Amino acid sequence: MRIYIGILIILMLLSLVSPIQSITYAKELIIKDELKFEFWSLPWFPQSDKAAELIVKQLEKIGIKLELRRLESSIMYPRIQKFDFEAYALATSQSPNPLSMLDSFTSKWAKPDIGAFWGPLEDPEFDELINKIRTTTDPNELKRLVKEAQRRIAFESGFIPIYLTQSVKVIRAEWKNYTVMTGGLLEVFDIWSILYMYKSDKPEENVFKIAFPSDVLSLNPFTAVDLRSIWIINLIYDPLVRVDPEFNVVPWLAESWEVSDDGKVYTFKLRKNVKWHDGTPFTADDVVFTFTEGIKQETQRFVGLKDIIESVEKVDDYTVRFVLKNPYPFFLIDLATGYYYIAPKHIAGELDLTQWDNKNPIGTGPFRFVERTVGEFIVLQKNDDFWMAGVPKITRIIMKVIPEAESRFLAIKKGEVDTERYDTAITLVKQAEEDPNLNVVTAPGLWLIYIAFNTVNHFYDPKVFQAIHYAIDRQEIVEKANGGFGYPVYTVLNRFWNGDLAAEDIVFEYDPDKAAKLLEEAGWVDVDGDGVREYVGEKKREEEKPVETVVKTETVMVTETPEAATKTVTVVETVVKTVREVETKVETVTQAAGVSGGVVTGLIVVIVVLLGIIVFMASRMRRTASS
């Protein structure tokens, strides 16, 4: 008896020590027969694709089978967003605003098709926690809550961070005086480099040429949703505030600001010497217009502020008051890093902002727009009337589209361009290091490589996710998948982007034995000896229904005689089977060719239609010729 009490006490003490034991899960388990998952990866993103390959091998050791399939993004993303997937490896871009990551685990993202990329926790208590974070102004309390949220995500969600990429950029050595910020050289938050960079004392020689992998899609600051477009917009337009190289919020178009005691009213004093590129003075009207209409017309960039901003009012020509719905301590960092650029009211005032093509952008920024050849070039020129004195040093920026990574690198080597927009391929870095004309600039990168499981409707067992955390050797992945350019990451926030808000005490050291033990505890044992663990626990709560049965019953219902019914069933089965086979074949072929399904299907259709046109034309020619 005493022994039992002793054990009980020890267990209770243990439960206090180990954080895993103390969690009560809000979401019900979703169990499957064995730990076998279809695992998707994006073929053109080597940082995550190579990691995916390694993860498959590492998890195989503890009896979790991932079947790797490579899918094109246009196929993969919509299916992920419909929660029609099992597991995948991808990258997500980082932001200094911790809420952008934390919020994606609240219940509102559990609906299909709203753009969710991983299963949220689906716990009202967690939603409440995030709401509290949203409105807490006390920094210490905030830190505690943010860490609590990270802990819950780390121990309960199917989102498993692997590593943060290290940005590696190659730039021609004659360029001087750039800053290196988290995110990488010349990333969008880094306006400082582009303002102060130069290569010569003669202004006319300071032409900066940058290669993009594809053209920018939109120069409309309200609707641009890709970082390529925002990179250009960022040079033409100004936000109210920006971040300095240490990610502190600093004045920009707003000279200074005051926050009311309740944290709900922000009053900005605007700069008085600012002019639009067409000479019109910049005033409070432009700011009021941008935020009011941007939100009202549901533009992609501003619609997210709908739940935050109550109203934006003009106090006088150079003072603007933002009234918030609730206190929001991240308002300033959000304004500085959320890509909210001020647009000219005298140009866009009467327009449908969602359809505005903005062919000749007029901003207040350091560079003015000169010309653009869609698909090839954009030319910007120094704004001589820029409100900040003495900058920019660069007189002209030319963006050229060069689709192939190798060609971009060759162009830099030859000096046709100075640098490229995205990271240089790891395979080329060594060549760059050996070239005296090139500098290699590294910094903590923009991309968090992670794997995610579909916890919404496919599989949910936090213990298995814990085991996976321990079974992944992150250091090995960084070394092998990205040539050592990266940092292992264990939680959704990390110190590079979120400073001391990151819960650095949560670490899952590589420990496959611990992982195996966790799995056994949770009822996962390899019963049939095939190397994949089966479930032997008792908490079986949900059975998966095969899709085929649904098809069959529907067909049976419409057919009348039993014979006919069986016939149809066979036919349907055969059809279903054939379709499957064809699908698998196409996939195998495309995988072998290193191209992914979407492109190939698309191109096949294109080619078939083209052939059709040609045959049609040819047959007509023949007919007319023979008659």
Q: Does 376 bind another protein (CB under 8 A)?
A: yes
Residue written as tokens 């900005």?
A: 268
Structure-token pair, residue 207: 């032409």
CA distance 236 to 595: 37
Q: What does the per-residue mask of binding to another protein show for 533-572, with x meaning CB under 8 A? A: ----------------------------------------
Contact between 587 and another protein by CB under 8 A: the answer reads no
589 binds another protein, rule: CB under 8 A = no
Cβ 100 to another protein shortest distance, Å: 7
Is the alpha carbon torsion for 198, 199, 202, 206 positive or negative? negative
Nearest to another protein of 202, 541 (CB atom): 202
Are 510 and 475 in contact by the 8 Å Cβ rule? The answer is yes
Q: Which of residues 31-60 bind another protein (CB under 8 A)?
A: none
Residue 251 bridge partners (DSSP) = 241
21 binds another protein (CB under 8 A): no
582 is an interface residue for another protein by CB under 8 A: no
Q: Give the Å distances, CA to CA, from 264 to 84, 96, 311, 331, 355.
A: 40, 21, 11, 10, 32
Q: Pick between residue 376 and residue 513 the one whose CB is nearest to another protein.
A: 376
- Nearer to another protein (CB atom), residue 104 or residue 283: 104
Length of the chain: 627
State which of positions 69-98 bind another protein (CB under 8 A).
72-75, 77-78, 81, 92-93
Number of residues that bind another protein (CB under 8 A): 82
* Among residues 9, 23, 173, 225, the one that binds another protein under rule CB under 8 A: 225
Cα 442 to Cα 323: distance, rounded to the nearest angstrom: 40
* Using rule CB under 8 A, residue 10 touches another protein: no
Number of other CB atoms surrounding residue 76 within 10 Å: 21
For 173-293, list the strands marked E by DSSP: 207-212, 241-243, 249-251, 254-259, 265-270
Contacts of another protein in 183-222 (CB under 8 A): 209, 214-215, 217-218, 220
Q: Are 321 and 313 in contact (CB under 8 A)?
A: yes
Q: What b/e string do you get for 353-371 counting C-beta neighbours within 10 Å, with b at 16 or more?
A: beebebeebbbbbbbbbee
Q: Which tokens hold the place of 372?
A: 């653009």
- Dihedral (Cα; 314, 317, 319, 322), 10-degree rounding: 20
Q: How far is the CB of 336 from another protein (least distance, A)?
A: 15
Residue choice 196, 377, 487, 510 for contact with another protein (CB under 8 A): 377
Stretch that binds another protein, among 26-34, 112-120, 168-176, 524-532 (CB under 8 A): 112-120
Distance in Å, CB of 262 to another protein, minimum: 25
What's the one-letter identity of residue 507? V
Q: Check residue 410 for interaction with another protein (CB under 8 A).
A: yes
Close Cβ partners of 260 (under 8 Å, ≥ 6 residues apart): 266, 267
Which is nearer to another protein, 124 or 616 (by Cβ)? 616
Neighbour-count burial of 537, counting CB atoms closer than 10 A to its CB (0-12 exposed, 13-18 middle, 19+ buried) = middle
Provide CB contacts within 8 A for 138, sequence distance 6+.
none
Options 400, 458, 463, 474; binder of another protein; rule CB under 8 A:
400
**76 vs 515 by CB, closer to another protein:** 76
Please, which residue, 528 or 581, has the CB nearer to another protein? 581
Give me the helix-helix angle, 139-156 and 124-135, nearest 10°: 150
The span of 108-116, 120-128, 239-247, 273-281 binding another protein (CB under 8 A) equals 108-116
- Give the nearest distance from C-beta 228 to another protein in angstroms: 7
Q: How far is the CB of 114 from another protein (least distance, A)?
A: 4
**105 binds another protein per the rule CB under 8 A:** no
Q: Which of 26, 347, 379, 441 binds another protein (CB under 8 A)?
A: 379
| Contact (CB, 8 A) for 435 and 246 | no
- Minimal distance in Å, beta carbon 448 to another protein? 12
Minimum CB–partner distance for residue 15 and another protein (Å): 37
Retrieve residue 353's tokens: 């902002």
**According to CB under 8 A, which residues from 598 to 627 bind another protein?**
598-599, 601-603, 605-606, 609-610, 613-614, 616-618, 620-621, 624-625, 627
- Exposure b/e, 121-158, CB count within 10 A at least 16 = b: bbbeebbebbeebbebeeeeebbebbbebbbbbbbbbb
Which of 403, 500, 509, 588 lies at the binding interface for another protein (CB under 8 A)?
403
Contact between 100 and another protein (CB under 8 A)? Answer: yes
- Cβ at position 574, least distance to another protein in Å: 22
Least spacing, CB of residue 304 vs another protein, in Å: 4
- Minimal distance, residue 2 CB to another protein, in Å: 57
Closest to another protein by CB, 166 or 358:
358
Segment 262 to 321, residues that bind another protein, using CB under 8 A? 298-301, 303-304, 306
* Contact residue for another protein among 131, 273, 354, 427 (CB under 8 A): 354
Nearer to another protein, 319 or 601 (CB): 601
Given 104, 167, 419, 454, the residue binding another protein (CB under 8 A):
104
Does the protein bind another protein through residue 369 (CB under 8 A)? no
Token representation of residue 184: 């990488």
Binding status of residue 182 toward another protein by CB under 8 A: no
Q: Does 498 bind another protein (CB under 8 A)?
A: no
Phi, psi of 256 (to 5 degrees): -160, 165
DSSP state letters, 93-146: E--S-THHHHGGGSGGGGSTTS---S-----HHHHHHHHHHHH---HHHHHHHH
The first and second tokens of residue 479, run together, are: 């070394």
Distance CA 80, CA 217 (A): 24
* Binding residues for another protein restricted to 413-472, rule: CB under 8 A: 416-417
Site stretch for another protein (CB under 8 A), options 135-143, 162-170, 254-262, 405-413: 405-413
- The DSSP letter of residue 198 is B
